[in-house]
Amino acid sequence: MDLKVISIDENKLQIGCSIKQLTPDPFENVENYELNKVYKAKVVKIMDFGAFCELEPGLTTLLHSSELSWLKKNVSAKKMFKVGQEISCVITEIDKEKRRVAISHKLTLENPFETFEKKYKIGSTVEGEVVNKNEYSLFLKVDDMDIDAFLHCNDLTYLNNGEEELAKYKKGDKIKVKVLEIKVSDQKIRVGLRQTQKDPFDWFKDKKINQTITVKIISTESKGLIVRPESCEMDFNIKKSQIAINAADARPTRFNAGDRIDCAIQEIDMNKRKAVLSIKLLEEIEKKEALEKYGSEGSGKNLPFKSLKEDIAKSDNLKKKEEKK
Give the Cα separation of 202 and 198 in Å (integer). Answer: 8
In whole angstroms, give the CA distance from residue 311 to residue 290.
10
Q: How far lies 305's CA from each of 203, 240, 253, 300, 317, in Å?
A: 31, 18, 19, 9, 20
Q: Which of 165, 183, 40 is nearest to 122 (CA)?
A: 183
* CB 8, CB 15: distance < 8 Å: yes
Which CATH number describes the domain made up of 112-196? Answer: 2.40.50.140
- Check whether domain 4-108 has CATH 2.40.50.140, yes or no: yes
Cα gap 76→93, rounded to integer Å: 22
The pLDDT of residue 316 is 57
- What's the rounded Cα separation, in Å, for the pair 165 and 133? 13
Distance CA 35, CA 101 (A): 10
Per-residue pLDDT of the chain (325 residues; tens, 9 = 90+): 666 677 888 788 887 877 666 566 767 778 888 899 999 999 999 998 999 999 988 888 989 998 998 877 778 898 899 999 999 999 999 888 888 889 999 999 888 899 999 999 999 999 999 999 999 999 999 877 778 899 999 999 998 788 889 999 999 999 999 999 999 888 899 999 999 999 999 999 999 999 999 999 999 999 999 999 999 999 999 999 999 999 889 999 999 999 999 999 999 999 999 999 999 999 999 999 888 877 544 444 444 555 555 555 555 565 555 555 5
Q: Where are the domains of the chain?
A: 4-108, 112-196, 200-283
Could you give the CA distance from residue 225 to residue 219 in angstroms, rounded to a whole number? 6
Q: Tell me if domain 112-196 and domain 200-283 are identical in fold.
A: yes
For the chain, the first-to-last Cα distance in angstroms comes to 128
CA distances from 298 to 84, 100, 317 (A): 104, 96, 14
> CB atoms < 10 A from the CB of 260, how many?
10
Provide the CATH topology of domain 200-283. Answer: OB fold (Dihydrolipoamide Acetyltransferase, E2P) (2.40.50)
CA-CA distance, 70 to 145, in Å (whole number)?
Answer: 12
Query: E-assigned strands of 48-123?
Result: 50-56, 59-64, 86-95, 100-104
Which pTM value belongs to this model?
0.62
Please provide the DSSP assignment of 129-148 as one string: EEEEE-SSEEEEEETT---E
